[in-house]
Structure 1
Amino acid sequence: MMASLMAGAVRPGRSVKRSVSIWELLVWAFQREKISIEFDELSRLAGERPGVGMEYILMQRHNLGCSVDGGGRSEPHPDADLISSALAALPEAVGGRRMAVWIASLAQSGRWPEVDCQPEAKCEPATVRRCKHGVYAERSFWSGDGIMHRWPQSQLGKNDGYVCLVRYTGTARDVASQRRQWLQWWSALLELRTTFQIRGLSAFEVTDSMPPMAPWNSGGQ
């Protein structure tokens, strides 16, 4: 699912704040401002003290007025730096660093996590082969897998003993995994939305708008 991107060629100004959703804000920061997450900044600003959360890091950002070195390009917007810091300090309760990296990757591509709103169980060949006549399921001689024994060689003909290995997709386990990942991602966005609504940004006003919490309940959007 492709998320909508914010339009406009001019950087947000400081006089009038633009109302955006938390997802639009993340996409702007990673696509337009091209920020990255600096996890080492946590120890630098927090003085190597454990247990320092997102709120403390953002306050230090405001107090110091500092920004991450842009590496030879123009410095990112101050709000983009705050977004980077907030992601780097994302609490473990909503995924921590692993979730922060995932959110950054999704925002860079402008896509939401994959979730099948109308799952359908399928049985497909594990591997296929292609030739001039088309695509065919690949077969192999069955020699056993430790659970099912191979066929007795003396009872097999010239073309007997071959199998086509298959895999199942769209199973209940696959659906549950996708939905669990979606809800974790959604919870992390909610945490970030709350943070920026409380702390505030210089150029943006974060609205209550969020991606659907459970898109599978309405058949997907």
Structure 2
Amino acid sequence: MSMQGRISRAGGTRIKRALGVQTALEWAFRVEKAQLELPLPQDVTEEGFGFGLEYVLIQRAILGCKIDGGQHKIGSYTHEDAEVIAACVAGIPDAMGGKRMAIRVAELARAGLTPDWMPGAVPRCVPVEVKRNQHGERATTIVVGTARLLTRGRWRTIEVLACPVTFSPHPRQIESARRAYDDWWQALGWIRDGLIAGGMLREFEVTAAMPKARPWLASPCK
């Protein structure tokens, strides 16, 4: 059954489809083409996990209608649950990255991607520069000093050469990628909790399922 599948009914009771938060986000942004409504009202400072949903509820009550987001999909309809999910994403607090994180979450969901945490990456010592010619390749060297050497009874001055090296990928690069993954994971947890607590989704139910936390700790490639 596709993510756009119809909701079945049993005895008149609406049966909601259960989705993990990452799947729900991909459905909202990739399938339904939901749009983030940014920026949020500047006079609202609450950062509780229900803020995004609470704001949507208030606005819906004031307007007396459902969320207006379909204008972004000319000639088509954006599912109301997708708009609720987008509104929750837009409410990510500044402590978790705010608007920048909201955009990141939406972009990844729209592309159906998970942040690259550089699986299997191990820093290796490599030359800073390598020169290639018809004889092959060799590491570039630089002069780091001079030395005097007695050869055949005569003192000669020779250059002391060294090969500059670096680590690739750099440990800081790996650390940055994995910190970014962890920040994204924390944001998804916040969205999940908000959607569950808000209870505003009419045809879907967000479960507690989450992507792997710090998958590099359990990766055999580590």
- For the structure 1 residues 66 and 169, does the alpha-carbon distance in structure 2 shift closer, same or farther, using more than 3 Å as the test? same
Cα distance in 1 for residues equivalent to 2:44 and 2:197: 23
Structure-1 residue corresponding to 2:205: 205
Paired residues of 2:142 and 2:163 also in contact (CA < 8 A): no
Structure-2 residue corresponding to 1:24: 23
Paired residues of 1:20 and 1:205 also in contact (CA < 8 A): yes
Name the TM-score, length of structure 2 as normaliser: 0.71
Identify which range, 163-172 or 117-126, moves more after superposition: 163-172
Listed one character per residue, the Cα deviations across residues 23-69 of structure 1 (whole Å, up to 9, x for unaligned) are 000011111001121204x33xxxx5231532432322543422222
Shift of 1:197: 0.5
Shift of 1:216: 1.3
| Aligned residue type for 2:56 | L
3-state SS of 1:34 partner: coil
Listed one character per residue, the Cα deviations across residues 152-183 of structure 1 (whole Å, up to 9, x for unaligned) are xxx999xxx9x987653233322321221111
Cα distance in 2 for residues equivalent to 1:81 and 1:13: 18
Structure-2 residue corresponding to 1:116: 118
Structure-1 residue corresponding to 2:44: 50
Shift of 1:92: 1.0
Paired residues of 1:127 and 1:138 also in contact (CA < 8 A): yes
Shift of 1:125: 6.2
- For the structure 1 residues 137 and 67, does the alpha-carbon distance in structure 2 shift closer, same or farther, using more than 3 Å as the test? farther
Listed one character per residue, the Cα deviations across residues 93-122 of structure 1 (whole Å, up to 9, x for unaligned) are 211111111111111111111113433112
Identify which range, 100-109 or 163-172, moves more after superposition: 163-172
3-state SS of 1:168 partner: strand
Structure-1 residue corresponding to 2:68: 67
Structure-2 residue corresponding to 1:188: 187
Paired residues of 1:35 and 1:76 also in contact (CA < 8 A): yes
Q: How many residues align?
A: 198
Describe how 1:97-116 pairs up with structure 2 within 5 A. 97-116=99-118
Structure-1 residue corresponding to 2:219: 219
Structure-2 residue corresponding to 1:8: 2
Shift of 1:130: 9.4
Shift of 1:199: 1.0
Paired residues of 1:54 and 1:91 also in contact (CA < 8 A): no
Structure-1 residue corresponding to 2:152: none
The unaligned stretches of length 5 or more in structure 1 are 1-6, 144-148
- For the structure 1 residues 216 and 71, does the alpha-carbon distance in structure 2 shift closer, same or farther, using more than 3 Å as the test? closer
Shift of 1:71: 4.5
| Aligned residue type for 1:66 | I
Identify which range, 111-120 or 96-105, moves more after superposition: 111-120
Name the TM-score, length of structure 1 as normaliser: 0.72
- For the structure 1 residues 62 and 70, does the alpha-carbon distance in structure 2 shift closer, same or farther, using more than 3 Å as the test? same
Cα distance in 2 for residues equivalent to 1:136 and 1:34: 50
- For the structure 1 residues 211 and 9, does the alpha-carbon distance in structure 2 shift closer, same or farther, using more than 3 Å as the test? closer
Identify which range, 57-66 or 88-97, moves more after superposition: 57-66
Q: Quick one: percent identity of the two aligned structures?
A: 28
| Aligned residue type for 1:169 | S
Paired residues of 1:186 and 1:211 also in contact (CA < 8 A): yes
Paired residues of 2:53 and 2:87 also in contact (CA < 8 A): no
Cα distance in 1 for residues equivalent to 2:103 and 2:19: 22
Structure possessing the higher radius of gyration over alpha carbons: 2
2:89 is equivalent to residue 79 of structure 1: no
